[in-house]
Amino acid sequence: MTARATLPPPGLPGLDAGFSRIVAVPGVGVDHGVVREWHCLDTGAELTRLGVRVVGTILAVHGNPTWSYLWRALLTQSVHAAERGEPAWRVVAVDQLDMGFSDRTDEDRPLAQRVADLGAFTAALGLDTPVVTLGHDWGGVVSAGWAIDHPESLAGVVLLNTAVHHPDGVPIPAPLRLAGARGVLAASTVATTAFLDTTLALATPAVDAATRRAYRTPYGSATRRRAIGGFVADIPADGRHPSHPELERIAAGVAELDVPALLLWGPEDPIFSDRYLDDLLDRLPHADVHRFEGASHLVAEDRPYAEAVLTWLREHGDRLTSPGATAPARPVTATDPDGSGFTPIWHGLQQRRADDETAIVDMSPTRSGATRRVTWRQLDDRVRRLAAGLHRIGVRKGDRVSLLVPPGPTLSAVVYACLRIGAVIVVADAGLGIRGLTRAVRGSWPDFIIGETLGLTAARALGWPGVRISAARLPKAASAALGVTCSLSDILAQGTGEPLPEPPGPGDEAAILFTSGSTGPAKGVAYTHGQLSALRDVLADHFGVTQQTGLVTGFAPFALLGPALGTRSVTPQMDVSSPRTLTASAVAAAVRESGAGIVFLSPAAVLNVVATADALTEEDRAALAGVHTFLSTGAPISPRLLESAAELMPNATPHTPYGMTECLLVTDVTLDAVHDAAQAPDAGVCVGVPIGANRVLVSALDADGRATGTPTAEPGVLGEIVVSAPHLKDHYDRLWLTDREATRGTEGLDPFEPGARWHRTGDVGHLDEHGRLWVEGRMPHVLVTEDGPLAPVGPEQEVERVDAVRRAAVVGVGPHGLRQAVAVVETIPPTKRATLADPGLTAAVRGSTRTPLVAVLAVPHLPTDIRHNSKIDRSKLSGWAERILAGGRPAAP
C-alpha cells in the first residue's frame, strides 16, 4: 500500500522540528513518470535566517532500520557552529524512500535503484556544491554510489560503520544471515519490530526510552516496515545476488576517489566489523580514521561523531570548499627531511653478517640445560631467508604482521625479516591480558599472525584476523585445528636462495607498538623506519653503546634493539608478561652468559630483583660487578629503590630515563643527579634533562585543570608535559581524534625548525630553573580543588616519608572543582584488609604533607597497571575511596 510523505510528530527528543521539510522528486527507474515525496531534515532555511554564507552541503544518508533522526546532533551542532562564526555547512539528511517519513512506494528498491533515487533527490533539491557525503550502514553504500556518480559535486566522503565489499567465500555476518533466512525475514523485519529493536539494542551505552520511541515512530505498522525487510533481502550475500554487480561497481569506484575522507568506527559492531574498516582503508588509504573504542553499530548514538565531523570539516576546509586543491604536504621528520643520512634499522646486523661472535643469548631452558647462542652470521642468514620466504608467500610492503612470540632469537629474526621487506610489525604485549590483546590485534587488523602455539590458540578461539604462521613446526592435526597455513621452517625453506625485494625508505611505516593500557585502552603507536633508526641512534649515542657493550633487557620495548645496535643481547629468564617474576639470580645469570655492560629493567622488575638479592652467589655478584650502566625505564622509580639496585651493581651508573611508548627516550637522570636535585627538592619525580636533540615544554593547567597554556620552558609552571624528538612516533593507529588531541596547540612552536613534531604526553609536571623535568602524575589524576589543580605525586612523596608507609596514592573524592584529597597507603607491615587507617597512622600521614587530607585509607596492595606492575591506578582508587567514604563495604580496590 502506498502512502505519502509526512512530517514527523513534534517533540521528538533532540530534533528541531523546524528542520523538517517535504521535497517533491520526479522518480527514476521503477518510478519513471511518478513524482515521489521525500522527507528530509535540512538546515538550509535556518542558515539563511542567520544570514551566513554557506560553504557547502553535507548529504547525510541513514541505513536500515533507522531514519534521518540518526543525524540530529550534526544538524543542531552545525547550526551552532555557524552561529559562532565558523564556516557554515548546510546539512541535508534524507529519509530514503519507503523509510522514515518519506513515501511508501510498494516497489522493490534494490541497491542500484536507491543510488539512482538519491541522485534524483539531489537534482530536485538543486543541492549546493561542494558536497560531502555522510553515510551509515547501507546508507554508507548508497551515499558512496552517489559520490562516485557525481564527481563534479563531490568534495569529501565521511562513512560510519558500513561496507562496500564483501570477500568471496566468507559468510555475511551472522545477525544478517539469521534475519534474512527463509521463514525468518518477514517475521523479524516486517511483521514484528524485532529487527528494529535488535538494532537499537546495539547502542553502547543503551539509548533512553524516549529516543527508542523516536526511532520507532515512522515504523508503527507492518506496512510501514516493508522496506526494512527489503533492505535485508537486498544484501548481496554472494555473486549470484542481483545487487552484487552494483556493489562491485561502487567498491571499485570508491578505490578511485581522491577526495578527503573520514572513517568513524564502532569496533564492537557485530555486523560491520573491523574487517570492513580494513577493506575501506585499502580503498581509501589517505582517509582519516578514528575507532571509538567500545562503540558498536550505532556509533552516531554511542559517541560524539558530530563534533568529529565538524572538526574534520574545519581542518580540511580549504580543500573541501575548493575542489581541485591539492592535499597539504605530510610533515617530514625533524631529523632527516630528505632521507640522505638514513641508515636502516637492520644496518648494525648487516655490518656484522660475516661475524661469528655471539649476537643473541637465549636463556630459555633447553633439554640439555645448555644456553643457546646465535652468532651474527647465523642471525643474518636467518633474517635474510625469512625475509625472502615471507615475501614469496605474499607478505608485501605495508602488510601488517602481528607477532605473538616471546623475546629471543626467533622473535628477533622475524622482526628484522619483516622490517627488511617493509612489512609493518604489530607488537602487543602479552601483559595486556587476553581481552586487551584481542582489542589490540583486532584494532590493528593484521594481514598475518606469527605466533607460538598459545598465541595461535587464542587467535583461533577469539577470531583474530590474519593468515596464521606457526613459529614452530606443528603436527598436521594441530595445524589444521589452529588454522595454520605454514611454519617458520617452511618460510625459511622457501626463502633459501631467493632474492630480497627493494628495501623500505625512512618515511615508510615500520611498526605499531601498543601502549600499556594503564590509562585506558591500549593505543597502537605507529613508527616509521626513520623514527626507529633515530631511536637506535639516540640510544647508542647517549649511552655509548658499541659492538662490545652487550645488553641485558628485562624491559620488552628494548629487547629487540640489540641487533639494531650491532651488540649482543639477552633477555633474562622470566615471564615477560609479568616483570615482577624477574629475580636477581636471573639477571646475574644473563649478565654472566653475555658479558653485558648495560642492564635495562622495568621498575616492577627492579623491585623483585632487589627483593630476591639474598639468593645471589659470589659468582653472581662478581658478574653484576661488571655492569657499567644500569637503566630502569617505563615508570618513575624512587631514589631509594634505585640505590638498592645500585648496591647490586656497584660499578654501574644508575639511570632512570623518562619516556613513553610514543617516545621511548625523552630525558635521562643518573642517581647522582637525583641526589643533587634532592638538595632543593621540587614536587614530583626528577627525571633529568632532555637527551640529545630532544625538547621538553610544559602547557600550563588552567583553573579547571585543563592544559590550555601555550607550551613554554618557563620554570615552575605546572602543566602537561609536551615533547619533541627525532624518534617521536608518527601517529596513533586509526585514532585520528586522539592524534589531534596529542598535538593540540603545538603548531609552529619552533619557528627555526618548521618540520619539528610535538606530542602532548598526558603527564603532568614542571621544569625547574636548571632545565630539569619533574613528573607529578597523569592528567586524568589531577585533582581540581576549590584552590585550583593539585597534582598527586608531590603529596604522595611527602606521605611516603612516614616510616609505616611503603607506598602511597593521593586521589580525589567529591565533585569536580571541589575535589578533596584522600591518601591510600600500603603499610609496613602490610595490612591484611582494606580499611580506614588507625588513628596513629592517620595523624602521622596528615602531619607529613602540606595537602589537607579528608581521610587516610590502608590497603594490602595498591592496584597497578598490567604491563609495568608499577603505575598506580589512581582512577580505580578514586572510585573505590568514594564508595568507602560513602559507607560502602571496605573490599580491596
Across all residues in the chain, what is the average pLDDT? 90
How far apart (Å, rounded) are the C-alpha atoms in residues 627 and 601?
13
Higher pLDDT, 48 or 639: 48
CA separation for the pair 647, 640 (Å, rounded):
11
Does some domain include residue 582? no
Q: What mean pLDDT comes out for the span 499-510?
A: 96
* Residues above pLDDT 70, as percent of the chain: 93
CA 99/CA 62 separation, integer angstroms: 9
Using pLDDT thresholds of 50, 70 and 90, give the confidence band for residue 336: very low
Query: 796 and 746 in one domain?
Result: no
Q: How far apart are CA 420 and CA 423, in angstroms?
A: 8
The whole-angstrom separation of Cα 599 and Cα 606 is 11
C-alpha to C-alpha distance for 272 and 287, rounded to whole angstroms: 18
**Res 114 pLDDT > 70:** yes
Query: 330 pLDDT band (50/70/90 cuts)?
Result: very low
Cβ–Cβ under 8 Å, residues 798 and 776: no
- Residue 828, pLDDT > 80, answer yes
Q: Let me know whether 227 and 204 are in one domain.
A: yes
Round to whole Å and give the CA distance between 630 and 649.
Answer: 8
CATH number at residue 834: 3.30.300.30
248 compared with 869, residue with greater pLDDT? 248
Sign of CA dihedral 623, 624, 625, 627: positive
The region of weakest confidence among 143-152, 710-719, 805-814, 875-884 is 875-884
Report the alpha-carbon distance of residue 673 to residue 452 in Å, rounded.
43
Q: Indicate the number of domains in the chain.
A: 4
Domain final residue pick, 571, 588, 617: 571
Give pLDDT tens digits for 392-410.
999 999 999 999 988 889 9
Say if 702 falls within a structural domain: yes
Q: Domain boundary at 734, 763, 779, which?
A: 779
Predicted local confidence at residue 351, as pLDDT: 93
Residues 6+ apart with CB under 8 A from 476: none
Span 782-793, average pLDDT: 94
The answer to whether residue 609 sits within a structural domain is no
3-class secondary structure per residue, 111-123: HHHHHHHHHHHHH
- Residue 331 pLDDT: 44
Q: Are residues 754 and 826 in the same domain?
A: no
Beta carbons of 777 and 873 less than 8 angstroms apart: no
Pairing mode, strands 131-135 and 88-94? unpaired
More confident residue, 755 or 788: 788
Whether 528 shows a pLDDT value over 60: the answer reads: yes
Q: Is 525 helix (H, G, I), strand (E, B) or coil?
A: strand
pLDDT of residue 442: 87
Residue 89's contacts (CB-CB under 8 Å, 6 or more residues apart) are: 54, 55, 56, 57, 58, 78, 81, 82, 132, 310, 313
pLDDT digits (tens, 9 = 90+) for 638-653: 788 889 999 999 999 9
Check residue 177 and give its pLDDT. Answer: 61
Q: What are 688's strand-pairing partners?
A: 773
Pairing of strands 424-427, 448-451: unpaired
- Going by DSSP bridges, is the β-strand pair 448-451/400-404 parallel, antiparallel, or unpaired? parallel
Identify the bridge partners of residue 289 per DSSP, sorted by sequence position. Answer: 263
227 found inside a domain: yes
Write the pLDDT tens digit of every residue in 676-715.
988 878 899 899 999 999 999 999 999 999 999 999 999 9
| For the ranges 177-181, 309-313, 658-662, 873-877, the one whose mean pLDDT is highest | 309-313
Residues 33 and 158 reside in one and the same domain: yes
Q: Can you give the pLDDT at residue 185?
A: 67
Proportion of the chain above pLDDT 90, given as a percent: 74
784 in Cβ contact with 361 (< 8 Å): no
Listed range (215-229, 454-468, 614-628, 840-854) with the worst mean pLDDT:
454-468
Residues 753 and 789 in one domain: no
Burial class (CB in 10 A: 0-12, 13-18, 19+), 48: exposed
* 288 domain residue, yes or no: yes
**135, part of any domain:** yes
- Look at residue 454 and tell me whether its pLDDT is greater than 80: yes
Work out the average pLDDT over 111-117: 98
pLDDT at 557: 66
Query: Rounded mean pLDDT of 420-445?
Result: 86
Give the three cell numbers for residue 376: 651474527
Nine-digit cell string for 785: 580543588
Per-residue pLDDT, averaged over 25-48, amounts to 96
Q: Are residues 755 and 871 in the same domain?
A: no
Query: What value does the mean pLDDT take over residues 4-12?
Result: 94
Residue of 686, 590, 57, 593 whose CA lies nearest to 320: 57
Task: Identify whether residues 212 and 87 lie together within a single domain.
Answer: yes
**What's the domain range around 524?**
347-571
State the pTM of this model: 0.91
Give the Cα separation of 631 and 626 in Å (integer). 15
Pair (742, 850) in one structural domain: no
Q: Are residues 696 and 830 in the same domain?
A: no
Rounded CA-CA distance 251/273 in Å is: 17
pLDDT of residue 182: 61
CA atoms of 731 and 25, how far apart (whole Å): 45
Chain centroid offset of residue 258 CA:
26
Per-residue pLDDT, 602? 84
Please give the pLDDT value at position 340. 55
Other Cβ atoms closer than 10 A to 638: 17
| Cα dist from 101 to 92, 138, 784, whole Å | 15, 18, 48
pLDDT of residue 868: 42
Q: Which runs of E-coded beta strand occur in 424-576?
A: 424-427, 448-451, 467-470, 484-487, 509-514, 524-528, 551-554, 569-571
The model's pLDDT over 874-889, given as tens digits with 9 standing for 90+, comes to: 888 898 899 888 877 6
Is there a domain that residue 507 lies in? yes
Could you tell me if 352 and 469 lie in one domain?
Answer: yes
Last residue in a domain, options 779, 810, 841 = 779
**584 located within any domain:** no
Nearest in space to 174 (alpha carbons), one of 253, 273, 34, 282: 273
Residues 202 and 145 in one domain: yes
Q: CATH no. for residue 545?
A: 3.40.50.980
Can you tell me the distance from the alpha carbon of 766 to that of 737, in angstroms, rounded to the nearest whole number?
Answer: 26
Dist CA 19 CA 827 (whole Å):
62
- Strand bridging mode 88-94 / 54-61: parallel
Question: Considering only 76-85, 200-209, 635-644, 869-878, which range has the smallest mean pLDDT?
Answer: 869-878
> How much helix, strand and coil, in percent to the nearest 5, is found in the chain?
35, 20, 40
Whether 680 and 706 map to the same domain: the answer is yes
Contact call for residues 765 and 698 (beta carbons, < 8 A)? yes
Which of 382, 438, 439, 389 shows the shortest CA–CA distance to 413? 382
Cβ(618)–Cβ(644) under 8 Å?
Answer: no
> 747: exposed, middle or buried (C-beta count within 10 Å: 0-12, 13-18, 19+)?
exposed
* Closest residue by Cα to residue 229 from 335, 344, 108: 108
Question: Higher pLDDT residue, 423 or 582?
Answer: 423
* CATH classification at residue 257: 3.40.50.1820
The closest alpha carbon to 733, from 724, 742, 725, belongs to 742
Q: Would you call the peptide bond into 171 cis, given omega within 30 degrees of 0 as the criterion?
A: no
